[in-house]
Structure 1
C-alpha cells in the first residue's frame, strides 16, 4: 500500500474545510459529518482532527465556546476531548488521542468551531464578509 500523496493531502484539507463549514453553517448535520469522518482510516482521521483543531484556533475559541460546543456535540462533558477543549487555554492535541476517541474528538471540535465561527460571522463578517468559507452554497446532501 502506498502512502497518500501531497495532492491527496490537499484534497482532504479542502474537503475537510467544506464539510466543517457546512456543519458550522447548518448546511450539513453533525451526524452526516461524523459519517463522513468515520469512513477514514485512523491516520486520515488524525489529519482531519489536526485540520479542524487549526480552524478552532483560528476562530479564537473561548472557554464559553468550549462549554457551548460540548453541550451541542452529544459528547459527555467528562470525556477527554470535552475536558481538553474546555481548559483555559484549550488543549488541541486531539490527533494524539487513541483512535477509539477520534469520533468524540471530531464531534467536540466541530461543535466548538461552529459556536465560535457563528459568533465571529455575526459580529465581524455580517453584511461585508469576503471569506469564501462564510459564503457557501446550499448543501447537496
Structure 2
C-alpha cells in the first residue's frame, strides 16, 4: 500500500482505484473507506475526489443514481456535495469544495459510483467483463 503522503502518483491512483472499487463491490464498507480517506492530506483528498468524480462520469451516473447514492451515503440531501450530484446533469467540481466538505463529497461520490457501476456490471459487463476492477478477488476488510 502506498504511503499516505507519498509523491508516487501512479501507486496512489492504483490504491484509490482499489479502495473505491472494493467499496462499490461490497468488499470494504463505506465507513472503512471514509476512514482511509480521512487520513489523507487535504491535497491527496482533492486528488481522490477528482479521480472518483472521473469514475462516476465514466459509469454514466444519472440524477436518479445521485439521489439513491445520497440516501446510501449518510450525507444530508441538503449538503452541497449531495445537491451537486443530484443535478441533471450532475455537477462536478468536488475537489474545489472547502476542505470541511471533502469527506461528505467522498461519501456521496463513492456511493453514487457504486450504484452506477453495479448497474454496469450487471448489464454491460455481465459474464464477459474484461475490466480488472470489475473482477476483484474477495479481500479481507481493511481500515
Give the gaps of 5 or more residues in structure 1: none
CA shift, 1:89, in A, is 1.0
Spell out the pairing of 1:70-85 with structure 2 (5 A cutoff).
70-85=70-85
Q: Which residue of 2 aligns with 1:27?
A: 27
Q: Give the TM-score taking structure 2 as reference length.
A: 0.93
Report which of the two has the higher share of helix. Answer: 1
Would the aligned equivalents of 2:59 and 2:113 in 1 still touch at CA under 8 Å?
A: yes
CA shift, 1:4, in A, is 5.5
SS of 1:12's partner is helix
Q: Which residue of 2 aligns with 1:124?
A: 124
Cα-Cα RMSD: 1.1
Q: Which residue of 2 aligns with 1:109?
A: 109
Would the aligned equivalents of 2:6 and 2:12 in 1 still touch at CA under 8 Å?
A: no
Q: Which residue of 2 aligns with 1:57?
A: 57
Q: Deviations over 1:3-52 (max 9, x none)?
A: 964xx111111001000000000000000000000000111100000000
Alpha-carbon distance in structure 2 between the residues aligned to 1:68 and 1:53: 16
Kindly indicate whether residue 66 of structure 2 is the aligned counterpart of residue 66 of structure 1. yes
Alpha-carbon distance in structure 1 between the residues aligned to 2:17 and 2:6: 18
CA shift, 1:139, in A, is 1.7
Alpha-carbon distance in structure 1 between the residues aligned to 2:120 and 2:64: 14
Runs of 4+ in 1 over 6 A off after TM superposition: none
Alpha-carbon distance in structure 2 between the residues aligned to 1:112 and 1:139: 22
Give the gaps of 5 or more residues in structure 2: none
Q: Which residue of 2 aligns with 1:16?
A: 16
Alpha-carbon distance in structure 1 between the residues aligned to 2:71 and 2:19: 20
